[in-house]
Amino acid sequence: MGIFNGLKINNKIIAVSLAVFAFFRAGSVQAFCPVCTLAVGAGVGLSRYLGIDDTISGLWIGGLTVSMIMWTLNWLDKKNIHFKGQKIITILSFYLLIVAPLYWTGILGHPLNMLWGMDRLLLGILAGSLVFWGTGWWYFRLKARNEGRAHFPFQKVAMPVGALLIFSLIFYFLIR
């Protein structure tokens, strides 16, 4: 079950368009860098194009979602926009905007698309979100312990994207 099944839009065009849009909309200081977000977006487009299992695609969708949430929260802070429940409303809004259409179109919740009693795509989204957020948090902890500097160039990109790659391989061999 693929996300874009039934659509007559070329998946390459979608992936490139999203990547270009994200690149030009990126600010100078973000929770996750634009390169990292582009890599995640490209991973989603590539996995759909290649027909990779929804669990693995979900990992990348979850990572992209966390990245977009952090960008939004940083943008709101930068613009000095604050309201009660800002973080939880932002988080819930992004997941609702992603999961609800997938459910309404029948992509999520199909009885033949289950793994461990849960929809494959939803399982991947949840796992990818946790992995991406966790490695992002870990990066900032490591950086703080290293006098505010990364341990190696592009560590901010390598850690979350690398973790998603590792988990993609784990899921690939688990569901084979």
Structural contact between residues 141 and 32, judged by C-beta atoms closer than 8 angstroms:
no
Residue 135 CA to residue 108 CA, distance in Å, equals 27
Give the model confidence (pLDDT) of 119-128 as tens digits.
998 999 999 9
Per-residue pLDDT at 88: 95
Which tokens hold the place of 53? 């299992």
| pLDDT tier at 11, thresholds 50, 70, 90 | low
Structural contact between residues 172 and 53, judged by C-beta atoms closer than 8 angstroms:
yes
| pLDDT tier at 129, thresholds 50, 70, 90 | very high
Q: pTM above the 0.85 mark?
A: no
Residue 135 has pLDDT above 90, yes or no: yes
| pLDDT tier at 157, thresholds 50, 70, 90 | confident
Which tokens hold the place of 12? 């390459």
Structural contact between residues 25 and 148, judged by C-beta atoms closer than 8 angstroms:
no
